Structure 1
Amino acid sequence: MIQLTAPQAPALGRLPLVLLCAALLCPAAAQAQTVTPSLYWAATLHGWAAAMLALMATAVGVVSSLHHRERPASFLVGMMLSWVVLRAATAPGAAGLRPLLMTLLVLCGVQYLLRQMNWKRSWIDHALLIQCLVVPASLLVTGGQVVVLGTLWHVVLGLELVVAMGWALWLRRQRQQSAVDDAPGGDFHLMAALLLPTMLALVAEMLLAAVSETLWWTASPWLGLMLPVLMLGLGLQLLNNVAHARVDAEKRAASLEQRMAERIAEVERNHAQLAEQKLEQVTERERKRIAADLHDDLGAKLLTIVHTSESDRISTLAREALEEMRLSVRGLTGKPVHLIDALGDWRAEVVSRLGQANILAEWKSPAEDVEHTLQARSYVQTTRILRESVSNIIKHSGATHATISCAVQEGDFILTIQDDGQGIPTELDGRLDRGHGMASMKSRAKQMHGQCLVESGPGWGTVIRLTIPL
């Protein structure tokens, strides 16, 4: 068993922080004691705690220097280093530093606990700074007789820590209830688990020192472990908060990048739409200009030829050219055409042309009234397909009867032209799009996003079925 007497005071460095400060400020308390296995293991744990606090102070110091919002963590670094240095300052020559280290520890601890909750008061800052000067000065004035004064300062500094912990815990509770700030208020239970045992340990040490020196000497090494454990817990909490903040920042950055990409895509779509609208406007103006030129210049000249020509052949060709020109102008102007009006125009033209060729024309309109409209280009292309079909019937089919039926089904307009002629000759090798303008009709249907199907065979006529979307 190792014996420790008053001259061997450096061994007191293994005692917990509050006990150490009391012993350093009150040498009378450091009476001869027996270093039991319990005290030995407590001293060992204090040594490990000092080493871990030194490492934790380094990590927290780096974090506080890199992150502006974590600047209050510098007070936690000061608290940790004050405890580590205070534990090591057991040499007789360092006795003058111990009171200052204790007051620095209290200053840093109070500042960190309160500023962590964004609670700052200038009078507290000034009082703590003044205390750092008053404590060592008052001990210096006594000339080393610090028994009563040292005990008094020990109680005052300990109570300051307890009050600061309790106030910080109350503020955190208020924040959690009001949900003003989820970051400091959401971990109330964790902070309560760290602060409450430390507060009880500090109060218990002071009470034991007043009640029984023997109990104080036995229990205080273990009670004093709560303060370094608290500082380690605060450091881990800080590092954990920084890590979570980093993860949250990365998530927000990813979300921001996604929103930015979506915004850019939307801007690009809007720009493309605006460009398309601008192009459409320019194209529309150009179409109208061309239509006006055709109508005013070419139309007038063709009309003059129709009325002044002495040749029936020339007059007929001029009249046909005039009709084609008017159809082209109608397509260029871009005005929609009511389907019922288009059906009337087509019926009059088809029946007239087929009747002139001595071909019986049967026109079948839709079963019910239609209220749809056709785009101008669709009207022009359909008219030309219909004219080409009628021309084929007149010129090539040898038919005596033709049936033209119209229907509207599921948003599509279906035009069917059927004759009882001789059909398309076999010399075309089954390629129905080689002759009679079939390729042109299919191309026009494709431009309208529709289709033109042709069925024919020698001796049973030809069927042309045009389907276009309305």
Structure 2
Amino acid sequence: MTDNHGVKWMLLMIVALSRALALAGALGLFAAAAVQAEVLEIREAEVSQAPGFSERSAPASGWRAQTLPDDWGRTRPEYGGELWYRIPLDTTRLVQGSQVPAIYVERVCSNLAVYLNGSPVGSGGKLTLPYSRNCFTPQMFMLPQALLKPGVNTIHIQVVGYPLRQVSAAQRSSGLSVVRVGASDELRPLYEQALWWNITLPKVITALLGAFTVFIGALWLTRPRDTYYGYFTLWIGWWTLNTTRLYIIDPPLPGPWIEMLVPATAPLCVSGLVLFLMRFLGRSVGWVNQVLWWQMLVIPLVFLWGGQENVYPLARWNYYWLVPQFILAAIWFLAVSWQVSRRDFWLFSVILLTMVAITLVELAAAFLGLPLKMHFGHLGGPITLLPLCLRLIWLFSDNLRRSEELNIELERRVAEKSTEIERNYAELSSLRAREAVQDERQRIASDLHDDLGAKLLSIAHESSRVDDRGQLAGMARQALDEMRLSVRGMVSEPLRAVDVLADWRAETVQRLAAAHFAADWSAAEPAPGLLLPARMQVQLTRVLREAVSNLIRHSGGSRCRVEIAFPTGAMTLSVEDDGCGMDVAAMGAKGNGLGGIERRVRILGGRHAWQTGPMGGAMLLVRVPLLPDGGGAADAPELASQVHPLPSSNATRPDR
């Protein structure tokens, strides 16, 4: 079931806010209607654009009648600079007694100064280039009783502004609104109401929108993969800055450049909006992305090329290009969200349709002649965007909550898997221990059977046939040596490699000499401190003994060469004779002694091979690995894969 609580709350907030604004507007209009009957509304004046007059010296001639409000964009679109308005005022129509009269101007663009009978009574700021910007700030000045004369008085209003070509919209073209004169107590509600709607409330909402911009930008930095937060920051960030500059009376740049800045950077707003809508639904179209990024680069360059004398025509065609993009993106978003994200459809439909309506009204007022001298977007835009900001923040918090829940669930599953892994590891360790014990039992049994058992059996057979007690004693000593060797493999400590080699050499040379073989022993010097585990020593001792016994019995030769080397991480042993060689055709059979060699080498994790040696006889090659710390051979069979294979690696060879 889809949770629409957040969206419904946003829609209710929009409705409540709209009702509050409508109520405030109705109360304001009622108050204005109540006071308008008490003031003098001036809709007719005289105007002169003769240049070269100072503040106290208004034009003496060249006056002509002018209806107010006077919109320079309609009456004199090419004119820019200073214009004087003259208004005769009958003192009998002003308030009497202790009330202070005042003059109220709802709108003037770009700035004005007011004179009563030639004396200044107030101004909105700078009257020289660059002019102060008061296009949306109402003006109210007191008319001192000391300056009033009996009969007819004269009010001069000096207005300065820019030609239409140097502004970006008709709402900011120069001009003067209707002038009201009356008691200050009666005019002040009108002034404060206009100030509230045009300046104070938009400032508050813009500040709030700016705070949301910073906050959502920070959310985007915490979750860079949610790119729609970044594009939304670009969109409302531009809107915030665009609205903020309207309330800066004296900007650091000339007026035309400030006007150019808005349409030149408008692609940032529209591109950010379109990309936000696409990314919010998880969509991306390559050519659309390219068009949006290119227009953010090209359009500002076009305005720089056109200069300050072509701001208005360039802005018009710029908005004709950008506004359809916004409308098409809104239509596309609503169509897709209806199918894939019904939860967001209703909220976005209210917001987007409201913004489309505001945009069309703004476009008509700016370039199509709609007589509207205020920007709905300054107030309506931020108010419309605030619920969307709240929706994104709620969406972020909801995602954060879901992430925390997933993290808790993930931690629970990890804990379960960790417990399961520990249990399996304990079972595997126990199984390996049992297998190791079983392997060790099998090895001991094999050693006793193959070595000690064979010797005892030989003694039993020979004792009934041989009278030579010395021969029987020798066989018994050999059996005792085999038993001691087996016990040493189980309980002895590691021995130095040099000592093991010395024992091997003494035993091998003695046996070969007794069998009338010439012994050729060659052993490389082992690394200093190299230790061989007892098990490795025992197994290799038996391999060497069996190899020597095999060549003494079957080779038919007279010479034996033994070589031992220590390449990196391994130990090699070769035993070679000059006898009859080996029967390659009989490789399938396996004698008991040679089978023991294979088994012992495999226990040490090594490899062995039989081949014809340089001396013409059989040659046994054995290679076993040493532990990385220089100790001895690995017991685990899996380490055999680390040993380099020997040439012609035959696992077996029959006794000759």
> TM-score normalised to the size of structure 1?
0.50
The corresponding residue for 1:11 is none
The corresponding residue for 2:372 is 219
String of CA shifts for 1:170-190, please: whole Å, max 9, x gaps.
65688799x899569977664
The corresponding residue for 1:82 is 16
2:239 equivalent to 1:194: yes
Q: Which amino acid aligns with 1:450?
A: G
The corresponding residue for 2:577 is 419
1:165/1:195 contact within 8 Å kept:
no
1:162/1:202 contact within 8 Å kept:
no
Q: Distance in 1 between matches of 2:395 and 2:213?
A: 24
The corresponding residue for 1:403 is 561
1:287/1:332 contact within 8 Å kept:
no
Q: Distance in 2 between matches of 1:335 and 1:389?
A: 26
The offset of 1:465, in angstroms, is 1.2
2:205/2:383 contact within 8 Å kept:
no
Q: Distance in 1 between matches of 2:538 and 2:482?
A: 10
2:578/2:618 contact within 8 Å kept:
yes
The offset of 1:244, in angstroms, is 7.3
2:558/2:579 contact within 8 Å kept:
yes
String of CA shifts for 1:196-229, please: whole Å, max 9, x gaps.
555678999xxxxxxxxxxxx9426x62344333
2:7/2:391 contact within 8 Å kept:
no
1:339/1:374 contact within 8 Å kept:
yes
The corresponding residue for 1:464 is 620
Q: Distance in 1 between matches of 2:608 and 2:222?
A: 69
1:169/1:188 contact within 8 Å kept:
no
The offset of 1:365, in angstroms, is 1.6
The corresponding residue for 1:118 is none
Q: 1:265 to 1:417 in 2, by over 3 A?
A: farther
Q: Which amino acid aligns with 1:365?
A: A
The offset of 1:195, in angstroms, is 3.5
The corresponding residue for 1:165 is 205
Residue aligned with 2:605, SS = coil
The offset of 1:418, in angstroms, is 1.0
Q: Distance in 2 between matches of 1:373 and 1:320?
A: 26
2:488 equivalent to 1:330: yes
Q: 1:89 to 1:248 in 2, by over 3 A?
A: closer
The corresponding residue for 1:384 is 542
Residue 606 (structure 2) aligned to one of 447, 450, 457: 450
Residue aligned with 2:576, SS = strand
The offset of 1:347, in angstroms, is 0.8
The total of aligned residue pairs comes to 321
Residue aligned with 2:610, SS = strand
Residue 6 (structure 2) aligned to one of 63, 80, 88: 63
The offset of 1:421, in angstroms, is 2.1
The corresponding residue for 2:64 is none
The corresponding residue for 1:136 is none
Q: 1:467 to 1:430 in 2, by over 3 A?
A: same
Q: Which amino acid aligns with 2:482?
A: E
Q: Distance in 2 between matches of 1:331 and 1:351?
A: 23
Q: 1:108-187 alignment to 2 at 5 Å? A: 161-168=201-208, 182=221
Q: Give the structure with the larger strand fraction.
A: 2
Give me the CA root mean square deviation.
Answer: 5.8
Q: Which amino acid aligns with 1:319?
A: R
Q: Which amino acid aligns with 1:400?
A: S
The offset of 1:411, in angstroms, is 2.6
Residue aligned with 1:219, SS = coil
Q: Which amino acid aligns with 2:623?
A: T
The offset of 1:430, in angstroms, is 3.1
Residue aligned with 2:372, SS = helix
> TM-score normalised to the size of structure 2?
0.38
Q: 1:276-425 alignment to 2 at 5 Å? A: 276=429, 311-333=469-491, 335-366=493-524, 371-424=529-582
Q: Which amino acid aligns with 1:82?
A: A
**Structure 1 gap ranges (5+):** 1-58, 66-73, 100-145, 205-216
The offset of 1:388, in angstroms, is 0.6
2:212/2:389 contact within 8 Å kept:
no
Q: 1:468 to 1:421 in 2, by over 3 A?
A: same
The offset of 1:378, in angstroms, is 2.3
2:380 equivalent to 1:228: yes
Residue aligned with 1:409, SS = coil
String of CA shifts for 1:213-267, please: whole Å, max 9, x gaps.
xxxx9426x623443332443444555666778889999969x969x87996899
2:594 equivalent to 1:441: no
2:202/2:378 contact within 8 Å kept:
no
The offset of 1:337, in angstroms, is 3.0
**Structure 2 gap ranges (5+):** 31-185, 224-228, 250-369, 627-656
Q: Which amino acid aligns with 1:327?
A: L
String of CA shifts for 1:410-440, please: whole Å, max 9, x gaps.
332111111122334x4x7331752362232
The offset of 1:317, in angstroms, is 3.4
Q: Distance in 2 between matches of 1:466 and 1:163?
A: 91
